[in-house]
Structure 1
Amino acid sequence: MSEPASPRLPRTLRQRRIVDHLSEVSSATAAELSALTGVSVMTIHRDIEDLAHRGILRRFHGGVSVLPTSVFESSSEFRLQTRGAAKEALARRAVRFVEPGMSVMLDDSTTVLALARLLNDVGPLTVITNYRQAVEVLRENDDIRLIVVGGHYSRTHDSYIAMPSHESVDSYAVDVVFQSTSAMGADMTYHQEQDIVLMKRAMLRSGDTRVLMMDGTKVGRTSLHHYVPVSDYTDVILTDDVDTETVDRVEKNARVHLVSIRG
């Protein structure tokens, strides 16, 4: 089959367009992606095979999807490519909780990774994390004492997940813990994977101030496992695309900070 006559995107940009599109519509057929990108269905199938091999999307009968289901979390690599503006807005608000000299714990969410990038400019800090990407962001900063916790390496999450006792995490007491998770309602948070739930709970127990960072696409949803009640957090940072009724309900459980993602 010959390629359409329209200008052809470079492969990397084409695959980014595919991922961005699927993050908005949940799923699509190869024919739909062909029309979107201006390349043949055969080329789209090669892109799908590559992205599936990298763990960015899933194939099913009749189409492909990249959004996490209530059972399976999408890969860290995919999550790094989505909702960038929202994550940066959440991070700019979150960094206001941090002062030089503090101890900070970061989970393995890509939302919190946006905050890690800002910590390089704060000053002397002790940062504890189980996320390899956060280690890469911070490891060359002489002002940051970096401590890595966890156990076995999870390729899906690109992080280190401790055994159920989580003794390596429970031994710390930090000024502030920053987390995000897969889904939340007004009263409860959720995640698809039990080992991640156990790791996040152990990390949350370490913090005096406990901050949850969530963009609007995660609010009003559930996943397979209950994580912790929203009231276990002292503060929740939300993007302003969350409806006001939900915001009011969340405020009964924790202090809410809204950030704008418009403009």
Structure 2
Amino acid sequence: MAEDATAPAASDAEVARDRREKIRRRVADEGFVHVKSLAETYDVSVMTIHRDLDALQSEGWLRKIRGGATAQPSAIYHGDVRHRLQAMAEAKRQLAHATVDLVSPGASVMIDESTTGLAVAELLPARGPLTVITNFLAAVNLLADKPGIDLIALGGAYYPAYDAFLGLRTSEAIRSLHADVLFMSTTAITNGHCYHQSQETVAVKRALMDSADRRVLLVDHSKFAKNGLHQLAPLTAFDLVVVDSETPQDELAALRARSVPLHIAGSGTPPPW
């Protein structure tokens, strides 16, 4: 059948949107792409690619660097959720298994938008019945059909790169609720404080902390080598900080010197509670 010559051509905006989606996927798949390579692939100017990358960076999908774009996180770029799901996966499972026994049937549990928190969420159905409150769409999808889970999904402005709801409406929704325990993570730890790349993330995490009786921070050893732009809270603001077994001894000594309530996952001893 001949192509319908009367079919409307795609608008410039539609073409740009399609090209940016392809660029986003390529950066996520390859980790880094060159501006010149993208310009050649899509037969557009280098300046057009720079505008595409600016738009994708503003949405949190990637980070522009000299000569191209990367999916690797930085002090001001969180990294898209697919990249974070793949990073430190075994350490996250270790942290989750070390702390899930802190949840008793009938409890109300808050989970933040971290992929470490998602590892905890995967174990929660076996602890039910529970009420689970989260702004992380991946956790909502994971728990939506699980028996014994009374799920409360927090709305607000949706941030695709985080696969989460953030912003003022999310914070207000959190403050209308109260939970027994919060499981959360952080992007970076510097001088005994948690840091994140976005103010929106910090605002929501502070609201979560304010709305839970007990706060559990789960951090794999890579967090001690990263940087963040916005300070969230000191580690002493948590009732328990759980680190994985690969955390360097000097970092453990520094935490103990700051009187951080510490537990090492995989140590063979139950976490203090």
Q: TM-score range by the shorter chain?
A: 0.7 to 0.9
The answer on whether the counterparts of 1:177 and 1:204 sit within 8 Å (CA) in structure 2 is yes
Q: 1:207-228: per-residue Cα shift (whole Å, max 9, x none)?
A: 1110111111111433111111
The CA deviation string for residues 141-185 of structure 1, in whole angstroms up to 9 with x for no partner, is: 120110011311111111111317822111222111011111013
When residues 17 and 79 of structure 1 are mapped into structure 2, their CA distance, relative to the original with a 3 A threshold, is closer
Aligned residues: 225
Contact 1:162–1:168, Cα closer than 8 Å, also in 2? no
1:86 shift after superposition: 1.1
State the one-letter code of the partner of 1:153.
Answer: Y
CA shift digits 1:20-75 (9 cap, x unpaired): xx6xxxx7989xxxxxxxxxx99xx89xx9xx879765453346532211111111
Q: How far apart, CA to CA, are the structure 2 residues paired with 1:129 and 1:163?
A: 15
1:167 aligns to what SS in structure 2? Answer: helix
Q: Is the 8 A contact 1:86 1:239 kept in 2?
A: yes
Partner of 1:101: helix, strand, or coil? coil
Q: Which residue of 2 aligns with 1:179?
A: 184
Answer yes or no: is 1:191 the counterpart of 2:184.
no
Does the 8 A contact of 1:201 with 1:227 survive in 2? yes
Equivalences for residues 57-68 of structure 1 within 5 A? 57-58=62-63, 60-62=65-67, 64-68=69-73
2:154 to 149, 153, 166: 149
Q: For residues 162 and 59 of structure 1, do their structure 2 counterparts lie closer, same or farther at Cα, with a shift above 3 Å needed?
A: closer
The SS at the match of 2:204 is helix
8 Å contact from structure 2 (residues 156, 170) kept in 1: no
Q: CA deviation at 1:255?
A: 1.8
Question: Which residue in 2 is equivalent to 1:118?
Answer: 123
**Which residue in 2 is equivalent to 1:91?**
96
In the TM superposition, what are the counterparts of 1:31-46 in structure 2 within 5 Å?
A: none
Deviates more, 1:65-74 or 1:103-112: 65-74
Q: Distance in 2 between matches of 1:194 and 1:129?
A: 18
Structure 1 CA distance for aligned equivalents of residues 229 and 237 of structure 2 = 19
In 2, are the aligned partners of 1:56 and 1:78 still within 8 Å (CA)? no
Please state whether the residue corresponding to 1:88 is helix, strand or coil.
helix
Which amino acid in 2 is paired with 1:78?
Answer: H
CA contact (8 A) 1:56 1:77 kept: no
Verify the 8 A CA contact 1:105 1:176 in the aligned structure 2: yes
Specify the alignment match of 2:15 in structure 1: none
**Aligned equivalents of 2:163, 2:203: Cα separation in 1:** 17
Aligned equivalent of 2:21: none
The code of the aligned residue for 2:219 comes to M
One-letter amino acid of the counterpart of residue 221, structure 2: G
TM-score of the pair, normalised by structure 1: 0.76
Q: Secondary structure at the match of 2:126?
A: coil
Structure 1: any 5+ residue segments left out of the alignment? 1-14, 31-40
Cα distance between partner residues in 2 of 1:242 and 1:164: 36
Question: How far apart, CA to CA, are the structure 2 residues paired with 1:114 and 1:147?
Answer: 18
Considering fraction of residues, name the structure with more helix: 2
Judge conservation of contact 2:155–2:173 (CA < 8 Å) in 1. Answer: yes
Contact 1:190 1:223 in 2 (8 A): yes
Alignment of 1:43-58 (within 5 A): 57-58=62-63
| Equivalent of 1:255 in 227, 244, 261 | 261
Q: Which residue of 2 aligns with 1:78?
A: 83
The AA in structure 1 aligned to 2:110 is M
2:211, 2:90 → 1: CA distance? 29
Q: Residue type of the partner of 1:129? A: T
Amino acid at match of 2:81: S
1:169 aligns with 2:174: yes
